[in-house]
Chains A and B, each alone.
Chain A
């Protein structure tokens, strides 16, 4: 089963809210990723966790805070977001560091009002 699940599917939040996105995989993958995708653009990498440790942060603003509680779970905590942060947030996983392919979840559509 090559499934990555993400919750919620849709999220609307105000600029003063705190919310979290959740991602889960049960493929035994040891690397997990957060991407941000704006309309009509390819995904942009935000964070990479490898063996539950943050290995890449692509200079993402601190209002986005990732967390990897265990090898199957990845969270993205959101606080004080801006309207320009509205986007599709995608989670992905791969077998390990430098693994060939990544498997993507369906995404969370985030709207910041």
Chain B
């Protein structure tokens, strides 16, 4: 079975400090993985994607993620949080059959 586990439902950081949002996956196939961000009452925006090329993936707004097959992880990081980063973040697995498997989401809170 293919699944995604986001290890934290909420993460709180101060502005200017690093961000780490954790994601583990389970897949029988070589996975395609994504991080999406959703601001309140908005749609989902693609932050970055891993599709079996480089294991360190750079995305928009300074975010990056590292694919670690040995740990079945795809954690999202950012060196310095900004107030505008406060949002819901979803780690997502593409099953390859027109279906996405979503994690349960991590709410990022950024304090001044």
Binding site for B on A (CB under 8 A): 2, 4, 6, 31, 33, 40-43, 45, 48, 50, 55-56, 88, 90, 92, 97-98, 100-107, 109
Are A98 and B43 closer than 8 Å at their CB atoms? no
* Contact residue among A2, A42, A98, A103 (Cβ-Cβ distance under 8 Å from B104): A42
Count residues of chain B with CB under 8 A from any CB of chain A: 22
Inter-chain CA distance A90–B90, complex, in Å, is: 15
Decide yes or no whether B80 CB sits under 8 A from chain A.
no
B residues in contact with A107, CB < 8 Å:
41-43
Given A42-B90, A42-B104; A104-B43 close (CB under 8 Å): yes
User: How many whole Å from A2's CB to the nearest CB in chain B?
Assistant: 8
A residues in contact with B46, CB < 8 Å:
2, 101-103
Are B42 and A106 closer than 8 Å at their CB atoms? yes
Inter-chain CA distance A92–B96, complex, in Å, is: 16
Nearest 8 CB-CB pairings of A with B: A42-B102, A104-B43, A104-B44, A106-B43, A100-B32, A48-B98, A107-B43, A105-B43
B residues in contact with A109, CB < 8 Å:
41
User: How many whole Å from A40's CB to the nearest CB in chain B?
Assistant: 8
Are A56 and B43 closer than 8 Å at their CB atoms? no
B residues in contact with A31, CB < 8 Å:
98
* Contact residue among B34, B96, B103 (Cβ-Cβ distance under 8 Å from A101): B34
Inter-chain CA distance A92–B34, complex, in Å, is: 15
Are A42 and B98 closer than 8 Å at their CB atoms? no
Inter-chain CA distance A105–B36, complex, in Å, is: 13
Query: Interface centre among B34, B41, B44, by most A CB within 10 Å?
Result: B44
Are B97 and A42 closer than 8 Å at their CB atoms? no
* Contact residue among B42, B44, B45, B94 (Cβ-Cβ distance under 8 Å from A100): B94
17 A-B contacts, Cβ less than 8 Å apart?
Answer: A2-B46, A40-B105, A41-B104, A43-B44, A55-B98, A92-B44, A98-B94, A98-B98, A100-B51, A101-B32, A102-B100, A103-B46, A104-B36, A104-B43, A104-B44, A104-B45, A107-B42
